[in-house]
Amino acid sequence: MPNDNNNIQLTSDLQQAVGFIKQAIQRSQARALRSVNNEVLSLYYGVGRYVSENSRHNMWGKGAIKSISEQLQKEIPGLTGFGESNIKNMRKFYEEWCDFVNRQPLAADSPVDENKLLAEIRQPLAGDLDWNDFLRVPFSHHIEILSKCKSTDERIFYIHQCATRAWSKYALRDFISQDLYKNRGNLPSNFTEAIADTQLAIRTLKSFKESYLLGFINAEDLYESAEERNEPLLNKRISDNIRDFILRFGQDFMFIQPNYRLVYGEEEKFIDLLFFNRQLNCLVAVELKDCRFQPAHLGQLAFYLSLLDKQTRMPHENPPIGLVLCREMDRTVVELAIKDYTKPMGVATFRLGEDAPEEYNRILPDTQGLNALIQEDE
């Protein structure tokens, strides 16, 4: 009798079992990699300290590090990672971070026994370094950051990005060369992961704000009470005042259509606002959510982007980008929810006219001022 095992269709229970085991394997692999990286960083930090203490004050002669490296290769055949330049990198790693280690070596300590040392460190004097992030970043990434970033805040920024975005060393190098730290903006998004072209990712980050003031719309025009929400009317108010909206949104945006219709099978879907950005050469789908951000908003937007990519995008255009424009958000929730999506998306908040802080009202033009700007643009 032929063996039909390969043709067996998994039942829902078996599919669930596969999913459970797969997640368990992935979690175990992640823990193993973190554990290995912790040990490597601890070892390299300890070696770096030992080399620093003995090489910086003429205790060793000239060429000592080269001689040590060559002898190590002889005594441990196949040893990698302990060439002359990398041992110097270990020294640099120690010297740049030693001020952040809240522990002095004890007399009984082996000079290179730094196991678990990095777990005993305090918060840095500047910035906000998460030491769990620090321990997740490979040594090669640390050296790239230390070599090309001078300020502690900048180094902390790239460490966090590497830890949370799983950048390769080459992606890290590209983002540093493009100065992502200074050009990053504040919009929570996945642009640096979902957009392969580094320069395009940075241009995209710079094209959006974290918050938009829709000063041409008053809540009293939309709601009878503060608890009410009226997204269709909000959409209409923006569409009726689209030139005012674009002044807030950015002059590279071209408005295509409100309630842009997409057909999937027998279903119709509608994107609240569809734009085209000339600088980014892509469609931009904006979903209005007159409420607090919910992770499900991203799933809906990602689906719309897939439909745009399949049905609307022209061959010469970049993949479409999505923006959830909501009343309020918890940034931590957004960053956690958005990191697993492959479609480029961001989340921003909006304020209506009377929600603006007083300092905004003092510096922003009134309706007459906006009309004057529009006429000048014509």
Provide the token pair at 44: 């390299």
Provide the token pair at 264: 């999937």
C-alpha to C-alpha distance for 300 and 331, rounded to whole angstroms: 19
- Which of 301 and 170 is assigned the larger pLDDT? 301
Provide the token pair at 101: 């280690």
CB 255 within 8 A of CB 282: no
Q: Which of 2-11, 186-195, 269-278 has the lowest mean pLDDT?
A: 2-11
pLDDT digits (tens, 9 = 90+) for 299-324: 999 999 999 999 999 999 999 999 99
Q: Burial level of 236, CB count in 10 A (0-12/13-18/19+)?
A: middle
Tell me the average pLDDT of the chain. Answer: 78
C-alpha to C-alpha distance for 68 and 75, rounded to whole angstroms: 11
pLDDT digits (tens, 9 = 90+) for 73-115: 888 888 888 899 999 999 999 999 888 765 444 333 444 444 4
CB 174 within 8 A of CB 162: no
C-alpha to C-alpha distance for 65 and 92, rounded to whole angstroms: 13
Mean pLDDT calculated for residue range 165-179:
85
Task: Give the SS3 label for residue 260.
Answer: strand
Mean pLDDT calculated for residue range 281-304:
94
Q: Which of 77-86, 245-254, 278-287 has the lowest mean pLDDT?
A: 245-254
Q: Which residues contact 303 (CB under 8 A, 6 or more apart)?
A: 269
Instruction: Read off φ and ψ for residue 174, nearest 5 degrees.
Output: -65, -45
* pLDDT (0 to 100) of residue 104: 41
Task: Give the SS3 label for residue 19.
Answer: helix
Could you give the count of Cα atoms lying within 13 Å of 73 in the half-sphere of its Cβ? 12
Provide the token pair at 92: 């640099």
- Which of 87 and 216 is assigned the larger pLDDT? 87
* pLDDT (0 to 100) of residue 364: 42
Mean pLDDT calculated for residue range 171-189:
83
Instruction: Read off φ and ψ for residue 261, nearest 5 degrees.
Output: -85, 130
Measured CA distances, 30 to 27, 34, 100, 166 (Å): 5, 6, 26, 12
Mean pLDDT calculated for residue range 32-58:
82
Q: What is the DSSP letter of 123?
A: -
pLDDT > 70 in the chain, percent: 72
